């Protein structure tokens, strides 16, 4: 990790100067030496005291109603439908999203529920959001089998977006997903409960990470040694439940105890509360049990509601901690199955709904700052 590199650099620097006899230097050289020291420690201080903002959203769930609604003569224009919310992601240092559907393009046959495949322009949408990495371990990962995984990975990679939870080869499965943000190393892991009964092709078990707690804990232990912050995407739960089931909560907390700092849940397609979970050593992990949909064509109120989770990660003196946590609710507006637009919920004039969502999302933790906009 970067902290060890910093410490070694400091020791080398101190040795360089402590081993010198001041009598060897002229007054001018002594002054230059002092300036060098001041510059070095000034830069070192800034490096050791660092921070970044991490943002996560729920599902990019591309139904056929949605891609048909944005179809143009030249392709599919998703970006114009989300421009009222995109800036709140574009201002973040590290952005994570759940890509619920394969992005195989027309070559693999576009389709909606129940076996999805989205236009390649969905990768452009993710790029427009400034997504750095997306989860692709979910129950729709294998909707287009191996070809869908390969095409999705290719379309994302071409746009500079990484993916986690699905893999194109055994070597890809072993590849660490690590980002360095303002000198802080951040690792990602992702898992899903299953793939809607679609079997993983024999000999290609690497294609998708299926939930297996001993394996997950082993993965966390291995990656934890390489990073300052560990984020886990967990596709689990019961669809349309507003709270996590009692039998599932221990799974999230077990991962937090093992070293996961932020856990981002998906699958229920509804918002579930955010928890500040205190570990045995007094440190805290943030668990967002379900981030709901972010952009989809589902029509019930709860499935139209989503949001952006923002976590400020702070590093000082070699210690990395979770700082302020904010949540901005969003809403997908539509005229039934046409005219889909993503908005901040605060812009919709739905004051009662806004109040209900605030009470719901903060019911597990008063430390969550529920805000109309991430300004």
Neighbours of 119 (CB within 10 A): 21
| Contact present, 330 and 342 (Cβ < 8 Å) | yes
Residue range 161-190: mean pLDDT, rounded = 98
d(CA 216, CA 208) in angstroms, rounded, equals 13
* pLDDT, tens only, 314-370: 999 989 999 999 999 999 999 999 999 999 999 999 999 999 999 999 999 999 999
Q: Note the pLDDT tens digit of each residue in 229-285.
A: 999 999 999 999 999 999 999 999 999 999 999 999 999 999 999 999 999 999 999
Asked if the peptide bond before residue 114 counts as cis, ω within 30 degrees of 0, the response is: yes
What does the pLDDT read at residue 318?
87
Residues 48-65 have a mean pLDDT of: 96
Give the model's confidence band at 28: pLDDT under 50 very low, under 70 low, under 90 confident, else very high: low
Which pLDDT belongs to residue 25? 59
67 CB burial (10 A radius; 0-12, 13-18, 19+): buried
pLDDT at position 291 over 70: yes
pLDDT higher than threshold 60 for residue 17: no
The lowest-confidence range among 15-29, 108-122, 184-198 is 15-29
The yes-or-no verdict on residue 5 having pLDDT over 60 is: no
pLDDT of res. 72: 97
**pLDDT higher than threshold 80 for residue 58:** yes
Share of the chain above pLDDT 70, in %: 87
- In the chain, DSSP assigns E strands to 50-60, 71-72, 75-76, 94-99, 133-135, 162-164, 177-181, 184-192, 229-235, 262-266, 271-278, 284-291, 293-295, 305-316, 319-335, 338-344, 368-370
Strands 338-344 and 319-335: antiparallel
pLDDT of residue 166: 98
pLDDT mean over 74-97: 98
Measured CA to CA, the distance from residue 176 to residue 287 in angstroms comes to 22
pLDDT band at 67 (very low <50, low <70, confident <90, very high): very high
């Amino acid at each position: 990790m970067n902290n060890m590199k910093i410490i070694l650099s400091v020791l080398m620097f101190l040795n360089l100067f402590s081993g010198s006899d001041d009598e060897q230097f002229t007054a001018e050289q002594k002054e230059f030496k002092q300036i060098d020291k001041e510059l070095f420690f000034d830069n070192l201080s800034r490096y050791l005291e660092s921070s970044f903002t991490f943002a996560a959203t729920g599902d990019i769930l591309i139904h056929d109603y949605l891609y048909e609604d944005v179809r143009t003569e030249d392709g599919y224009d998703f970006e114009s439908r989300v421009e009222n919310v995109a800036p709140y992601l574009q201002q973040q240092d590290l952005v994570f999203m759940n890509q619920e559907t394969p992005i195989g393009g027309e070559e693999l046959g576009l389709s909606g529920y129940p076996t999805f495949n989205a236009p390649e322009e969905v990768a452009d949408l993710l790029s427009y959001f400034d997504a750095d990495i997306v989860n692709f371990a979910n129950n729709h990962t294998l909707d287009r089998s191996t070809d869908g995984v390969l095409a999705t990975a290719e379309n994302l990679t071409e746009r500079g977006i990484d993916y986690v939870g699905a893999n194109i080869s055994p070597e890809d499965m072993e590849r660490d997903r690590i980002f360095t943000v303002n000198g802080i190393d951040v690792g990602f892991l992702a898992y899903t409960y299953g793939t809607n009964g679609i079997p993983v092709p024999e000999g290609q078990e690497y294609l998708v990470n299926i939930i297996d707690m001993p394996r997950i804990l082993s993965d966390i232990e291995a990656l934890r040694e390489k990073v300052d912050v560990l984020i886990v995407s967990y596709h689990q739960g019961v669809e349309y439940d507003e709270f996590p089931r009692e039998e599932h909560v221990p799974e999230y907390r077990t991962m937090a105890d093992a070293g996961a700092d932020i856990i981002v849940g998906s699958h229920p397609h509804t918002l579930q509360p955010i928890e500040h979970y205190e570990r045995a050593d007094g440190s805290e992990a943030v668990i967002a049990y379900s981030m709901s949909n972010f952009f989809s064509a589902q029509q019930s109120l709860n499935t139209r509601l989503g949001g952006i989770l923002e976590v400020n990660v702070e590093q000082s003196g070699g210690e990395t901690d979770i700082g302020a946590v904010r949540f901005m609710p969003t809403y997908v507006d539509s005229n039934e199955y046409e005219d889909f637009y993503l908005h901040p919920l605060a812009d919709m004039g739905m004051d009662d709904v806004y109040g209900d969502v605030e009470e719901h999302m903060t019911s597990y933790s008063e430390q969550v700052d529920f805000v109309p906009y991430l300004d």
